[in-house]
Amino acid sequence: MEDESLEILGNNLKAHITDDDLANKISTGIDVVGILVDLVTKLPVIDTFNKLRNSFNNYNALRLHKKLTRFLLGISDIQPLDRQRFMEDLDSLHELKEKSGEVLIDIIVRMNHLGKIDFLINLFKAKISSKIDIKEFLRLAMILEKVSIMDLHSLKNYDVETYSNTPGKYEGSLTDSLYSAGLLNISVIGGNDGTLFNLNKSGKQMLLHGFN
């Protein structure tokens, strides 16, 4: 039953993402609950929410739908063909052993703050623009799951190329969080300013493509 529900939800999300009329179906002027009802009734599988109610408690169901709605709103301005190509690229990764809709659902579920969905939208658009490839999108999405969104907004402090003051100073748990998430490298060990950190490749990609 759980596998069937996940497959239905995954197919449901893919149907939205590839829908030619997505922008018209989702209006930013409708409240969140209104959008959710609109999404459910306009999808090909119209009884999805009813089937899922037994699999999720009410809180988790609301959280999931709120995240999905924000994500769909964020990508609705992308051309339908580009959205379809994104899903096709995701489907081409056979080692995932899952369909593209299910992969995205899993990623969205693991975003523990709504603000992370905005980062995910920006990474989606970066992939569409060929600034990153589909595997890099997945790597950065995994990093998003692991790092605090508050710490993420301090990522610029470790950009040695643009930060005007001395960048990369160790700042306790903030630095530990970004380093353990895979966004920083150690650049200097035990110098005059102590151990210094800077952005690694993933950190640079996140800073460049994850923020507006």
Tell me the whole-structure pTM to 2 decimals: 0.79
Measured in degrees and rounded to the nearest 5, phi and psi for residue 28 equal: -70, -10
Specify the pLDDT at position 19: 77
* Each residue's pLDDT expressed in tens, for the chain with a length of 212 residues: 445 566 767 777 777 777 777 766 665 433 333 444 444 444 444 345 555 555 555 667 778 878 888 898 899 889 999 999 999 999 999 888 888 888 998 899 899 999 999 999 999 999 999 999 999 999 999 999 999 999 999 999 898 777 556 667 888 999 999 999 999 998 766 555 668 899 999 999 999 999 97
Specify the pLDDT at position 191: 54
Contacts 24+ apart (CB under 8 A), 174-183: 177/147, 177/148, 177/151, 178/147, 178/151, 178/152, 178/154, 178/203, 180/146, 181/143, 181/146, 181/147, 182/143, 182/146, 183/143, 183/147, 183/155, 183/158
C-alpha to C-alpha distance for 127 and 137, rounded to whole angstroms: 7
Domain layout of the chain by residue ranges? 2-109, 151-210
